Structure 1
């Protein structure tokens, strides 16, 4: 039975990846921060087969302890301070967790592996936010990185540190440059979930307005359940490498709103939207669209859920949730 350790187990990616690995017959361990972490109950409810360990990406000794207990064949580093807007408010914390945390887990794996640094396969969750002020359209593995947020800068550090450990120590360390991936499990602070929750509440008469920022920003949105399969496929390859994971389509926030309101059966959606300049980023990323042709060719991966299917899934899930809460 293969064994896997996942950091960031409580996020949407950690939950979907756990489900996939359990289906594949893995023994799965998840790393959670702090004593009595309130999200431990979420993991126990959603993926009861996962064994939880306490640890912190900022604490090398706790990572070494987790590796000794889990004895993993594969490590998936999904842990991060992942909300981009928050990274301007907490740039130092974002750097400590999202950047230095990658170094810590890589070093822990190197030390734990002894004479065979490639025996534990490592996945780093890189991000399309690394492209920032995009230099190519679409963006691919060779595109120059030009991050436009503290989060993006931290992800670039982790990305290059993963490459450095692969090249310096022969580690089987791969990065997935994942474009925006969403689901009903997405946190409410992210724009897709903010929209699906807000539209559901408007449909059920619980509110009248939804306050948004930049409606013209464009993103390549896919389904998180599809993207975790690409993570797993990377670690099944004989040679480690880096891959863009994306749908190859771009849509604006305005299109996201149109689609979400359409799913809810609301045509005159613009009367329900207010804009607030405080929600605009200090340095905007205007256009993200990924070229995942290498992932298709090498990994045999392709997305199964399109943009409209994703938005429909999220709005309908929040409609059911709010409807059940009213009963």
Structure 2
């Protein structure tokens, strides 16, 4: 089996590549310019030399079609595109083109290639907007509240339309928040963990955040790439909500992180209204029952386990791996 991972250099791409290699796949991974990409996530997992990395521009149909024809994968995982909700307010056009346009190019390429292929598209819980107290399922209507969520919603419906219209084996995983030490600092979870580690080391004293009352379902990234693989190896193509089923506030996340480092979060946290988003989602809540029953998938870590793992990794990094 051969897999093509679009966006192999990110958190999910790296963990997915590791999983597929363990399952005996040949893995080809794309980046916009593979000659300049550092692929730090792949290097940190010790798998960079086991992957063929290539250049592919997701917003260029010719580039996409050429890649799919040349490498003839059995499975394609679309994990590429602009990945920051906050940045999407500053770069809405790039966000829409890289996510919705890129997904459309891949789907069109699948139609042009005369061989069976299975396609996974990375969806997002951001599409649901505020779920309130009603956990989102696969039938919950989308109410996107950011350019990122609008782009992901568009891509989701493109996948569903192509599946129904052309009989493609195409799935979308509507993933809720999932974290790991491979996340960059611009993600709030890593900002919290790494700042707490620096405070504990005496390197700084303050953590600045925006709205800490928001509530999210946080899971462990390696669990979520396992769900992606299960979707493409199911008997039929469908869309699935992937989450732990447990939602906590960002304030809870901050408190638990600071507890891990023996710190009083109240002494170090500063809420900065300039960090509030133009529109935000108060609550993200999920019901992943369909994935549990149909895919046999369940998370191995919940939010408390995730926090402990992130803090442990930050502590080891700050102490030279000891």
Task: Place the TM-score, normalised by the shorter chain, in its bin.
Answer: over 0.9
Residue 9 (structure 1) aligns with: 8
* Contiguous gaps of at least 5 residues in structure 2: none
In the alignment, the residues of structure 2 paired with residue 41 and residue 11 of structure 1 have an alpha-carbon distance, to the nearest angstrom, of 9
Look up the match of 2:124: 127
Query: Residues 64-103 of structure 1: matches in 2 within 5 Å?
Result: 64-103=65-104
Runs of 4+ that moved beyond 4 A: none
User: Kindly tell me: are residues 273 and 44 of structure 1, through their superposed partners in 2, closer, same or farther at Cα, counting changes over 3 Å?
Assistant: closer
Aligned match of 1:61: 62
Structure 1 unaligned spans of 5+: none
Match of 2:138 among 136, 141, 156: 141
SS of residue in 2 equivalent to 1:123: strand
1:254 and 1:136, CA in 2 relative to 1: closer, same or farther beyond 3 A?
closer
How far residue 316 of structure 1 moved from its aligned partner, in angstroms, is 1.4
SS at match of 2:123: strand
Note if 1:152 corresponds to 2:149: yes
Considering only aligned residues, what root-mean-square deviation do their CA atoms show, in Å?
1.5
Q: CA deviation at 1:42?
A: 4.6
Structure 2 residue matching 1:324: 3-state secondary structure: coil
Q: 1:63, CA displacement in angstroms?
A: 1.0
Q: Which residue of 2 aligns with 1:51?
A: 52
Distance (Å, rounded) in 2 between the aligned partners of 1:280 and 1:16:
31
Q: d(CA) in 2 for partners of 1:5 and 1:272?
A: 44
Kept after mapping to 2: 8 A contact 1:57/1:63: yes
The partner residue of 2:259 within 258, 262, 265 is 262
For residues 194 and 65 of structure 1, the distance between their equivalents in structure 2, rounded to whole angstroms, comes to: 39
Against the structure 1 CA distance between its residues 150 and 227, is the aligned structure 2 distance closer, same or farther, given a 3 Å change threshold? same
Does 1:23 find its partner at 2:25?
no
Q: Which string of whole-angstrom CA distances, capped at 9 and with x for unpartnered residues, describes residues 283-306 of structure 1?
A: 110100110000000000000011
Residues 139 and 290 of structure 1 are in contact (CA less than 8 Å); yes or no, is this contact kept in structure 2? yes
Q: TM-score, normalised by structure 1?
A: 0.95
Taking structure 2 as the reference length, the TM-score comes to: 0.96
- Higher mean alpha-carbon deviation, 307-316 vs 214-223, is at 307-316
Aligned to 1:272, which of 268, 271, 289? 268
Question: Structure 1 271/184 Cα, relative in aligned 2: closer, same or farther at 3 Å?
Answer: same
1:128-165: CA deviation from partner (whole Å, max 9, x where unpaired): 00001337710000000000000000000000000011
Q: Name the stretch that deviates more: 174-183 or 39-48.
A: 39-48
- 1:41 shift after superposition: 5.5
SS at match of 2:308: helix
For 1:200 and 1:35, the matched residues in 2 are separated by 32
> 1:265 offset after TM fit, Å?
1.4
- Distance in 2, matches of 1:274 and 1:45, equals 32
Of the candidates 306, 309, 315, which is equivalent to residue 319 of structure 1? Answer: 315
**Most deviating of 240-249 and 64-73:** 64-73
Which has the higher mean CA deviation after the structures are superposed, 38-47 or 245-254?
38-47
Where 2:237 maps in the other structure, the secondary structure is coil
* Contact 2:214–2:282 under 8 Å retained in 1: yes
Deviation at 1:203, TM superposition (A): 0.8
